[in-house]
Amino acid sequence: MKEVPIDDSIREIWKKYPLRISGLKDSRCHGKPTVLVQSMDGGFVTRNCPECGGYESLSEPDFHLLGLWVACPDCRKPMVAQRVRTSNYGYICEPCQNYIKLASLLPRWTDL
């Protein structure tokens, strides 16, 4: 299984692009809807408050509730949500032997 790299230039788009992925819960601190972000290098994902940056972990059941369609870059079919080789949340295409970490698809916490 090989990781599909996401180019850093694509991450720069997140700073300007208005789309955010819901963290499925409101923040404890401000009661605002949270957004998913990459919170550390290596692929750790948290749901952060857009007001203050306060965060909490994204649970595995909530990860599976996201319902994201992530297309395999090779076959374009939907990838399966599951933990990837590095034990981070991600998306896998078994036939093509590809995986993408969820964190690679998200803005960094500093970009909110």
> For residue 100, what are the β-bridge partners?
91
- 98 phi and psi, to 5 degrees? -110, 150
Q: If pLDDT is split at 50, 70 and 90, which confidence band does 95 have?
A: very high
Structure confidence at residue 48 as a pLDDT band (50, 70, 90): very high
Query: When comparing pLDDT for 56 and 112, which is higher?
Result: 56
User: DSSP 3-state assignment of 56?
Assistant: strand
- pLDDT for the residue 85: 78
Instruction: Tally the residues of the chain.
Output: 112
Tokens of 19: 């789309």
- Going by pLDDT thresholds of 50, 70 and 90, the confidence category of residue 92 is very high
* CA gap 34, 75 in Å, rounded: 32
